[in-house]
Amino acid sequence: MKTPDCDRFYIGGEWVAPAGASSVVPIIDPASEAQIGTVTLGSVADVDRAVAAARAAFPAFSATDPGERAALLRRIAELLDERAEGIAQAITREMGCAIGFSRAAQVPFGIAHVRAAIEVLDRFDFLRRQGTTAIAREPIGVCTLITPWNWPLYQMTAKVAPALATGCTMVLKPSELSPLSAQIFAQVLDDAGVPAGVFNMVMGAGPDVGAALSRHADVDMVSITGSTRAGVEVAMAAAPTVKRVTQELGGKSPNILLDDADFANVVAPGVASAMRNAGQSCSAPTRMLVPRDRLAEVEALAVAAAEAMIVGDPADENTLMGPLANRPQFDKVQAMIEMGIAEGARVVCGGTGRPDGLTSGFYARATIFSDVSMDMRIASEEIFGPVLCLVPYRDEEDAIRIANDTCYGLGAHVQSADLDRARRVARQIRAGQVHINLPAWDAHAAFGGYKQSGNGREYGAFGFEEYLETKAMLGYFPS
């Protein structure tokens, strides 16, 4: 089955052809390495058209009643529910995510962001009294939304939903490496009746379309999810116009197994968390910190968990881990595994090359390194693949030190039989989100990073407020 080519942009409420000269790149199925379509990349001219449409639509949309915006978001959520299977299939085709995970996580978690935005909007106070002063929260304006390929729908809704809820207009630049789900998403918004110009979408590469959107004088805010390198480039491009920039960037999250944890029940879920989505998650807990005297025990449990993972065709419902999303990512993961071996880390599972029986596709082996120290690159750099580092520690204080010994601070995990102890350790971790004892995911929990993992927060009320300005009107309420 050939995928339709992605050769139109959504601007001003219409699907339009590129404004000028544009390049066309192939869409590659990561499971077969075959071309399944093409995507047309935009230019500065397309950016200018999209921003102009968003700017023209802002006065009317920013003045809409919150109830009207909530109704719009409900229609979007309903249409996403109706088309969930098609979106799941698209994500599996374009980035190799196992179809079971696309259905169970990629799509429903994405829809959950829309529902969370509705819940926040329904109770949000846009004007509140403070003595004789009124504090107004107003939409920031035209927003550039830059999203990655690893969680396509999830990241689009995490930005678009709160932007719509607050009354902003926007230009979405999804990753050119995951265009199929983006096309469906844009069609959903059109079918839901988003007013012309409120939502616009231009495909393109970061150095071209992303940079043009970031520096554009008529853009009031940029929200980017991507690598730390990309976040820095966006911030630099945005700086001359002093616009707001929120960044959700890289991570090297620790998973601290305190010595009183039930290892038989926490190691396997820790391995699964590190390797879900083939390890292509910025918050994946890819450093498992374990008591030195119990390293062998953890190794055995971790290897058993990794070897039980079914790696193969992502369209097969029995598959737990599909291929990596693209050739550059496959090559990077292979190079980092080779680096770990060269650095002296001990491979206890996996290694370089494809899993046995797979001769093509961007498949990587579920790999576990042990005896990893923080001076090794595999312990300090984001690999973005199914690679887990077992890092031994001496005592609780040493575990906290190691957990914080990173330029990142996106996520962390703590496992302990003593909840008060786990809470105490969690409070000392320099990260934006900490999971204590394998909790359920929460669409309203603030998500974002300390240090080089970014600025600002997403999800729930925290992400909602990033799209608002604060205005104080003194004397609004005369005494």
pLDDT tens digit sequence for 346-390: 999 999 999 999 999 999 999 999 999 999 999 999 999 999 999
Tell me the backbone φ, ψ of residue 175, rounded to 5 degrees.
-65, 135
Count the neighbouring beta carbons within 10 Å of the beta carbon of residue 419: 10
Structure tokens at 364: 């990587």
Please report which residue ranges of 63-168 form alpha helices under DSSP H: 66-82, 84-95, 99-101, 107-123, 152-166
Tokens describing residue 298: 């953890």
Q: What is the pLDDT of residues 158-212, one digit of tens each?
A: 999 999 999 999 999 999 999 999 999 999 999 999 999 999 999 999 999 999 9
Q: What is the pTM of this model?
A: 0.97
Regions of the chain where pLDDT drops below 70: 1-4
Q: Identify the residue whose tokens are 């590659």.
A: 28
pLDDT at 1: 46
pLDDT of residue 310: 96
Q: Is-catalytic flag, 248?
A: yes
Reference 58, options 151, 174, 222, 195; nearest CA is 195
Residue 3 has what pLDDT? 57
Name the active-site residue from 176, 248, 299, 466: 248
pLDDT at position 5, please? Answer: 77
| Nearest residue to 137 via CA among 469, 460, 477, 432 | 469
Which pLDDT belongs to residue 4?
62
List 282, 299, 382, 458, catalytic entry: 282
Q: Whole-angstrom Cα distance, residue 7 to residue 26?
A: 11
Which residues, including other chains, have CB under 8 Å from residue 319's CB and lie 6 or more apart? 98, 99, 100, 310, 311, 312, 313
Q: What pLDDT does 337 receive?
A: 98
User: Which H helix or E strand runs over 464?
Assistant: helix 460-465
| 3-class DSSP state of 194 | coil
